[in-house]
Structure 1
Amino acid sequence: MQASFVQIIICLLIGIALIVVLTSRYRVHAFFALLLAAFVVGLGVGLPVDGIITAVKDGFGNVMKSLAIIIVLGTTLGVLLEHTGSTQVMAAFIMRKVGEKRSALAMTLTGFIVGLPIFCDSGYIVLSGLNRSLARRTHTHMAVMAVSLATGLYSVHCLIPPHPGASAAAGIIGVDFGRLIMMGIIVAIPASAAGYLWANYMGKKMDDVVDDDIDVPTENKHLPSSLKAFLPVVVPILLISLKSFLVLDTAINNKWLTSILSLGDPVLALAVGILLALNCKRGWDRSSLGKLLTDGAEKAGGILVIIGAGGAFGAVLAATKIGDHLNGAFALGSLGILFPFLVAFILKTAQGSSTVAIITASSIILPLLPALGLDTPNGHLLTVLAMGGGSMMISHANDAYFWVIAKFSGLELKSMLRVYSVATVLMGITSLVMVYILSTVLA
């Protein structure tokens, strides 16, 4: 293959445009859009068909090997926490500690913690009943409460595994999950704070009236204790983090310590979380448990095919040697973490899905890491965090989560754009600033 630099860039832009148009305008599933884009780019630069198929299979398989079990277990954990009412218990506990006078802050904290194992849209639906009840009881405007909860959930969804975008980026770029969780939390805290502060500033100016007829989920009457509710979330994070940061002296033959640290593997840590989540409910019957496990696996399946297709697209891009061409044409090293942030930001704004944005961005950025000066373990970590920040902005009318918030809060489109959409911009910029600060510390 002897494709020119211009030819490769044109084909890449066509591939990206194809993904955006198919997913946002024609509502084609992202799996097919990414797969079609991989073939369009490959054929456009002159790769042989059998070479494209090989790259697609290898890219898909490599991502599945590292992420499939993690995504299935993480999704199942979220389903179980929703079903057992653990999310409501965590929210009530945080509310008691923070106080109803700071109800919006309590919902941001709740969203942040509950959002660690649960997708942002599911978390918002589950907590929307409590959120609306608090808004009425504390006379806090619904725009403030809705965006406070939404941004708390959103910050961890875009930055921290086992959420699919961050997990896929970690698998494609090559980042340790434990380090990504810890550094992602450091970035997500100020990002969620930025969303909360903007909600308080702008939300009070909104004129929306909350519609009391909107359906909200019914609360589970048989709820677990606060300790049982928090353990499935806290224990896996601690185990994964300890595995990443504790260096075991191989000269010490300590089977107990070795066994404990082995639980820090993300697969085992999430399995422990599932076992703890099962303890949040008494009297499980086989049919209901079987249905929940099936729901978790099926929900993960739709995510996994997108992640796999992103890996396939990235493998085709790597085969075009796009990194070598761009490195020779531009001084990408001067852009550093800004470039992956901008790629994810453009993709997110254009097609709506943060997950698709960060997966596609990862595929594009992977062959460019040496040219960007980010081809080191710390560079890989900063790249994933920068793409996570970029995938936050801008959430607007083409984002499914945007409409979940609007539907379950009763906010009008104008209010959503002025409060929530702008909040996502501030969150993304705050994330970029935090990643830059981390880059100076980790340099």
Structure 2
Amino acid sequence: MFANIIILILVLLALIFSISKWRIHPFIALILSAIVLGTTLGLGGESTISVVLQGFSETLKWIAVIIILGAFIGEVLRETGGAFRISNRIVKWVGEKKLPWAMGFTGYIVSIPVFVDVAYILLQPVVESLSFKSKRPVLYLGLSLAAGLTVAHTLIPPTPGPLAVASLLGVEMGRMLIINLIVATFAMIGGILWVIFFLKNSWIDYDKKLQDIYKEEQTTTHNELPKGNWLLDIMPIIVPIVLISTGSFVTDNLSGWVGDALGFMSIPLIAVYIGAFIAVFQIAKKDKKNKVNRLVEQAITKSALVIMITGAGGALGFVIKASGIQNEIVQIFSDFPFLGAMLPFVVAAILTTATGSITVSLVGTASMLGPIIDNFPMSPEIVAAIIGCGAFCVFHVNSSFFWLLNRLHEVPPKVLYKTFTAQSLIMGLSGLIGVLILVLFGV
């Protein structure tokens, strides 16, 4: 029994080192790991390849289209300035004295269809101009925005990572969305409180440069936005979330064509398609068809990497399941409920720390634990939330977003360790508090 478990551990360690230390691409590393694991655990060569291909296709048969449609919505927001208008409106609602919360909630909303790095680059002018106007350090607002961006990217469908987790664990999407919205709120609050209490005076040399870039009489960037309706900007984001989250509950109480229609629209693929259709109305009429086609192509190009990594993670999960090794693992920790409860968090944290990728962490953890999901002392949706919390811990030099902050704001790595890395740990632990409260209330 222990021989197979040792093989699994060695393969997974090799996977982690190959991605983080040896710089092998995650797609290649995941597929090779699946093949090696299958052959060494006795599945045989042909059977292993068959399982790998099956796992790859089964994982992507519905999620790939959703990822592309979500990316398209993000491209539209970037093209039309919709993300800026959303930010502008939230800041007006909250007020400058509560800018960390405004930036956090802006990131929370914008990052649902937009990849984190792209969203931050998109909102960089807002962060810097508000930093100058409010006389706050750029990291004070930048990491507030980052808190909202990362929680949405890690926990809220239809972003790719949570969708992959839902697929690999076989969870009920509407229930998972409601749970993760609550857990994400706890994680974001923890990240923003960290900023408010510990980063008020986190000045860097780049803050001085901003004094030369902006003048006091200069209006903030969001006052120079292209004309548009912020309600229309936010509809492609809100409508799919509302449809997915309420569909499973509403359809239980409705029958006939109304129930059938709502049930159809609550399917994640259809819900996001509706969001993408709404987004099209934001695009200017002049040469609209060519613009839509160009944005679709950009979305497909930017989504390809995430889709391939997600499929490769699914292949690894199918191999683990086909080998039957999950039964041996269950036998070891079935008598230790606490270990079983914390295992998703620990595995996700190890993968994030090792690989620097939230998506790889989410997909990898769900791939490993999916085959034994029914043996955990909590619901699959709670397991998914715990995986998301672990995926925050911790971001450091092997994270692309770490270096994005370094490049955009000229933040020294030493400073980022004390600010951004510490914040990610706080967010993961804060999310766990939210999970604990939900469990105590019987969720």
Among 121, 126, 132, the residue aligned to 2:122: 126
Among 316, 321, 325, the residue aligned to 1:318: 321
Deviation of 1:257 (Å): 4.9
2:7 alignment counterpart: 11
1:281 alignment counterpart: 283
1:42 alignment counterpart: 38
1:391 alignment counterpart: 391
Against the structure 1 CA distance between its residues 284 and 310, is the aligned structure 2 distance closer, same or farther, given a 3 Å change threshold? Answer: farther
Is the aligned partner of 1:192 residue 2:196? no
- TM-score between both structures, scaled by the size of structure 2: 0.92
Against the structure 1 CA distance between its residues 371 and 256, is the aligned structure 2 distance closer, same or farther, given a 3 Å change threshold? Answer: closer
2:332 alignment counterpart: 329
What is the CA–CA distance in structure 2 between the aligned matches of 1:370 and 1:259, rounded to whole Å? 31
Superposition RMSD in Å? 2.0
Among 355, 379, 382, the residue aligned to 2:359: 355
2:350 alignment counterpart: 346
Is the aligned partner of 1:173 residue 2:169? yes
What is the CA–CA distance in structure 2 between the aligned matches of 1:395 and 1:284, rounded to whole Å? 43
Map 1:134-173 onto structure 2 (within 5 A): 134-173=130-169
What is the CA–CA distance in structure 2 between the aligned matches of 1:176 and 1:329, rounded to whole Å? 28
Deviation of 1:256 (Å): 4.2
Residue type of the alignment partner of 1:384: A
What is the CA–CA distance in structure 1 between the aligned matches of 2:198 and 2:290, rounded to whole Å? 47
Deviation of 1:192 (Å): 0.6
2:298 alignment counterpart: 295
Against the structure 1 CA distance between its residues 336 and 441, is the aligned structure 2 distance closer, same or farther, given a 3 Å change threshold? Answer: farther
Question: 1:333, 1:371 within 8 Å by CA — same for their partners in 2?
Answer: no
Deviations 1:72-114 (A, max 9, x none): 2112111212211111000000011111122222111111111
Deviation of 1:49 (Å): 0.6
Is the aligned partner of 1:429 residue 2:419? no
- Counterpart of 1:272 in 2: which secondary structure? helix
Runs of 4+ in 1 over 6 A off after TM superposition: none
Deviation larger for 195-204 or 219-228: 219-228
Percent of residue pairs identical: 31
Deviation of 1:18 (Å): 2.2
Map 1:58-97 onto structure 2 (within 5 A): 58-97=54-93
What is the CA–CA distance in structure 1 between the aligned matches of 2:278 and 2:360, rounded to whole Å? 31
Deviations 1:254-305 (A, max 9, x none): x345324421111111111112111113224233321110011122221111
Deviation of 1:209 (Å): 2.2
Question: 1:59, 1:313 within 8 Å by CA — same for their partners in 2?
Answer: yes
Deviations 1:369-403 (A, max 9, x none): 233334xxxx1101111101100110111100111
Q: Which runs of 5+ in 2 are unaligned?
A: 214-220
Residue type of the alignment partner of 1:371: N
Among 29, 32, 55, the residue aligned to 1:33: 29
2:412 alignment counterpart: 412
Residue type of the alignment partner of 1:68: A
2:218 alignment counterpart: none
Deviation larger for 30-39 or 283-292: 283-292
1:101 alignment counterpart: 97
Residue type of the alignment partner of 1:141: P
Question: 1:332, 1:372 within 8 Å by CA — same for their partners in 2?
Answer: no
What is the CA–CA distance in structure 2 between the aligned matches of 1:398 and 1:283, rounded to whole Å? 43
What is the CA–CA distance in structure 2 between the aligned matches of 1:410 and 1:104, rounded to whole Å? 20
Residue type of the alignment partner of 1:397: V
- Counterpart of 2:114 in 1: which secondary structure? coil
Deviation larger for 12-21 or 46-55: 12-21
State the number of aligned residues. Answer: 431
What is the CA–CA distance in structure 1 between the aligned matches of 2:46 and 2:94, rounded to whole Å? 60
Deviation of 1:332 (Å): 4.6
Question: 2:140, 2:202 within 8 Å by CA — same for their partners in 1?
Answer: no
- TM-score between both structures, scaled by the size of structure 1: 0.92
Against the structure 1 CA distance between its residues 80 and 337, is the aligned structure 2 distance closer, same or farther, given a 3 Å change threshold? Answer: farther
